[in-house]
Chains A and B, each alone.
Chain A
Amino acid sequence: MSALSLAHEPVTGIRHGKLGMWIFLASEVMFFSGFFTAFIILRNANLSVFAHGATELNWPLAALNTVNLIVSSLTMAMSILSLENGDKGKFQLYLGITFLCACGFLVIKYIEYTTKFSHGIYPGTSSFFGLYFTMTGFHAIHVIGGMIPIGWMLAKSFTKRGYADTGRVEILGLYWHFVDLVWIFLFPVLYLIF
């Protein structure tokens, strides 16, 4: 039985997880496409409401978060590179920075949300804020979803056995860059242009 050679190299030469992640990301693009389409249609129908809504948002905080995510993207890419070079210390350092950036992102998001609530602004305030909370909320869920495996890999790398699955870190990297990518669009669309 064990002599069977059914399990062979991936036909496409791309690891299952990576291929699966790309398909998942394609799916994610469609998910956010739904939100962006709704945003475009409702914005065109209610220009003044959306313009007014955007002025209520705190764009400097969002800009800070943009920088936050760009830095985390860089460190994520560097951490993969370090792991491929076998540099465990640098891997931990870069992945650690990525994790911290993600935490920082969530803290800033928390400040933004609570400020809105204290001003009496909720998702039900208008269709603009309905979309704002939905889109940034789902983005934040994606950030949390990325932090779990980042944290796990980081913790694992401090154990005796360490962590050396570069393939998995690369897959995680793809996901993390996608999260950055969504924010790259959310930032101007929600905060800047109207």
Chain B
Amino acid sequence: MEAAVLTHEHGHAVAHAADHTHEHHEPSFIRKYLFSTDHKTIAKQFLTTSMFFLLVGGAFALFIRWQLAYPGEPIPIIGSWLPDSLVSNGAIQPGFYTQLVTMHATVMIFFVIIPMATGAFANFCIPLMIGTDDMAMPIVNMMSFWLVPVAGLTIMAGFFVEGGTAAAGWTNYPPLSASGMGHTLWVIGVFLVGFSSILGGMNYVTTVLNKRAKGMRMFDMPMTVWALFITAILQTLGTPVLAADAVLLFVDQVFHAGIFIPENLLTPNGGLFPNGANVGTGGGGQPVLWQHLFWFYSHPAVYIMILPIMGVVSDVLATFARKPIYGYKAMVFAIMAIAFLGFVVWGHHMFLSGMSPLLGTTFMLSTIVIAVPSSIKIFNWLGTIWRGDIHFTTPNLNALGFISTFVCGGLSGVFMAIGPIDVYIHDTYFIVAHIHYVLFGGALFGIFAGIYYWFPKMFGKMYNESMGKFHFVTTFITFNLCFFPMHMIGVGGHMRRIHDPYVYEFLKPFQPINQFITIFAILLGFAQLILIFNLIWSVKFGRPAPRNPWRANTLEWAAPAHPGHGNFDRDITVYRGPYEFASPESKRDYLPQWIRPAHVEQETVAKH
């Protein structure tokens, strides 16, 4: 059936090709856009999919914000469209609210930031930046993408099953998550998206190790590739643990084996929780075991979300400061250190879980050490722009914005690393502020920087610069005004994931702050439409991009303006590191990796 469709479509495409006097044999629409094995097409598929999910997740966030600012009041316009099982008179019901917080985080983490960072960027950048034609395993690559929409649909299907979708938070802690169809779908979806991540990761590691262009040593690779490479290692080693955890939760949900469910638990109706442990021969399950295995993946996952972005930002900063990366090797070692430490610090998410306090001390010390490589990176970025020649293009603005917000997110992380302080701020809005400073202010600004930076190579068109700048400025301002006050209500004790904070006396004074946050959250949400409009408009009407619009040094700019299958139209040999900006060897202020030394000499200025 599949094959029949393929050949049928294929025949059509050939006919069309003849009509339009195409020179080359044109693959069918399905082969070209749906089941393409070209890494650039797969990158675009990842990009569009996660852009779509970004809008979905953003909409969920605005629902949440509306409820916190104006609890019990109907959602404007949309409220009346939603079914009564979710809203009453247009106002969000508590059950729907917990589904929203769960789905907002699930979508944003598993279907926006991870696919964007390790799907879109890794796919687009790795082969181009190491000077090769495609990934090592193109078909595996295609499978890696197609698992994402399947997983997304599986999780989204939860909204249409009895009892609604998953509602136990994105961390899905049992026993709350151990019953209900929505939770089972969540577990299946996460397993699938994890499989996609593993397939992607093994492909990226192989590609980087095996397919580098002639002359390119590991230490000639751009920071983006380094970061993506280390991230891919994290993906392949961390994700399977989450997969195993998900399988065990599935066994608990479907067969009630009692792996995470202790003996004799009550359900909310007062009955006994269905559980192998209750029939007499069973043992007590351990809810904390889920948390250990979950965070053993999900802490490295935090770095899966941020490391690629750190690489992208390094490249963007160097290019637009027209200056080599300060401390290239130190940056690489810092990434390695973060990745290694990332695997031994998961317990700081569990200071309150009731685990042994000795383990708490251990995790506290290991976690605080992770601040060191992070600060090395910050200092090196500052060193990079020091005595530079900074051009304020949109990608660079986003990269600079990244540094500014990431410092804040990193420092608020120190509070969480310290156990006794975490006791108080755990599960409050301080954590929410932190995660958004890291994942929105950090990852998303870096993603914007990357999208603008590689847009010309991806689509062969230039994006609209003024619209890009406007998008950055509005996003940066509204972002800070939206998320910074969350630190304050967090210190005030405002819990996260609560449908109506004002049942508590001590939270009542925070309603004006919540309204303030909501106003800027709405503005922030709408500011993203500028980005989407800019991208769509520029793909259609943008000015054609030159081959190397940023006068950058890395190999992707050696490829044609809009590279086709196979990427390069010239042989690629690498002669030097990726950041030879303002080199005295060259008359120009940049010296690409692929220029032959003999060729450079022709334009060399007299050495002083």
Residues of A within 8 A of B (CB): 1, 4-8, 10-12, 14, 16-17, 19-20, 23-24, 26-28, 30-35, 37-38, 41-42, 45-46, 49-50, 52-53, 122-131, 133-134, 138
Contacts and interface: CB of A to CB of B under 8 A. Distances in A.
Nearest to A48: B283
23 contacts: A5-B571, A6-B213, A6-B567, A10-B211, A11-B209, A12-B209, A19-B205, A20-B140, A20-B205, A23-B201, A23-B202, A27-B240, A30-B240, A31-B241, A34-B241, A42-B285, A45-B283, A123-B255, A124-B257, A124-B276, A126-B258, A126-B283, A127-B285
A6 B559 CA distance: 12
Interface string B440-476: 0000000000000000000000000000000000000
B248 A6 contact: no
B286 interface: yes
Contacts of B238: 30
A6 B276 contact: no
A7 B257 CA distance: 51
Contact of A46 (B284, B292, B570): B284
Contact of A27 (B214, B237, B256, B259): B237
Given A28-B240, A30-B237, A38-B293, A126 B210 contact: no
Interface residues of B, number: 56
A127 B258 contact: yes
Interface string B242-254: 1111011001100
Interface of B: 131-133, 136-137, 140, 198, 201-203, 205-206, 209-214, 236-245, 247-248, 251-252, 255-259, 276-277, 279, 281-286, 289, 292-293, 566-572
A140 to B, nearest CB: 14
B283 A46 contact: yes
A120 B247 CA distance: 22
Contact of A31 (B202, B244, B567): B244
B245 A126 contact: no
A23 B140 CA distance: 13
A14 B259 CA distance: 41
Contacts of A23: 201-202, 205-206, 236
Contacts of B289: 38, 41-42
Nearest to B239: A27
B293 A34 contact: yes
A30 B248 contact: no
Given A124-B256, A126-B258, A8 B198 contact: no
Contact of A127 (B140, B283, B569): B283
Given A1-B566, A31-B241, A126 B571 contact: no
B78 to A, nearest CB: 40
B29 to A, nearest CB: 23
